[in-house]
Amino acid sequence: MHDKRLLIAWWSNTGGTASLVEAASQGAQTAALTLKATDPGSPSLDVQSVRCDLLSLEALLQADGLVLATPECLGSVAGPMKTWLDRCYYPALDRLSGRPYAAIVCAGTDGEGALRMLDRVAAGWRLRRAAPALKVITGAQTPEAIAAPKRILPTDLGRANELGATLGAGLLMGLW
Ligand SMILES: Cc1cc2nc3c(=O)[nH]c(=O)nc-3n(C[C@H](O)[C@H](O)[C@H](O)COP(=O)(O)O)c2cc1C
């Protein structure tokens, strides 16, 4: 059985999404280590967390599972995430079908537009939702609050950790 690769493709302007991505990555790695301890023969998990402007099509195609993580900006995904999706959407069409995915959106007050956009891309790629989308609201809506570095509450970091653990463990157990 070959080792499994979980790819987290992300963007963050002021650190909120980045913190959630770090928590999801840790959750996946901890779940993998726990499984390995109980069954040393099980495959290993390679968790790659890559900022989307640095993420190649090849790395996307090699992923066994995918997390898409972005702030909401102007009712959609952040610009760099949109640029990456524009670059990879058609080249990856029909080449990711059935792979598990989950979405993370960090938003000031809403987040639904960004989630809809990610879900449309996931539907086009025929990805399989492996965990409910995680939406975290930071409350930022004044220019000062929007520009400030974001601190994510421990409960929300815990939810991101759980999302990562679900994908990591599910991939290793061959659920998808
Ligand atoms: C240009 C811009 C547009 C934004 N538009 C929205 C929006 O449409 N809906 C929303 O809920 N938050 C919006 N926000 C707020 C961000 O989503 C929020 O600050 C989020 O926590 C940023 O995540 P990050 O720290 O990972 O960059 C916007 C922020 C910026 C900079």
φ, ψ of residue 97 to 5 degrees: the values are: -55, 130
Please give the model's pTM, rounded to 2 decimal places.
Answer: 0.97
Distance spanning both ends of the chain, measured CA to CA: 14
Burial of 24 (C-beta count, 10 Å sphere; 0-12/13-18/19+): buried
Read off the pLDDT band of 1 (50, 70, 90): low
147 CA → ligand 1 middle, Å: 9
Read off the pLDDT band of 32 (50, 70, 90): very high
74 lines ligand 1 (CB under 6 A): yes
φ, ψ of residue 45 to 5 degrees: the values are: -115, 125
Decide yes or no: CATH 3.40.50.360 for domain 4-172: yes
37 lines ligand 1 (CB under 6 A): no
Read off the pLDDT band of 81 (50, 70, 90): very high
Domain boundaries, the chain: 4-172
Is residue 41 over pLDDT 90? no
Q: What is the pLDDT of residues 114-131, one digit of tens each?
A: 999 999 999 999 999 999
140 lines ligand 1 (CB under 6 A): yes
Q: How far are the Cα atoms of 38, 60, 77, 95, 103 from residue 20, in angstroms, in the given order?
A: 27, 20, 16, 27, 11
Number of Cα atoms under 13 Å in the Cβ half of residue 5: 13
25: tokens are: 């990555």
162 lines ligand 1 (CB under 6 A): no
For residue 141, which atom of ligand 1 is closest to its CA?
A: 15
Question: Do the Cβ atoms of 105 and 72 come closer than 8 Å?
Answer: yes
Q: For residue 59, give the amino acid letter.
A: A
Return the ∠ at Cα 53 (arms to 48 and 54), rounded to 5°. Answer: 50
Which of 49, 68, 73 gets mutated to test ligand 1 (max ligand atoms within 8 A of its CB)? 73
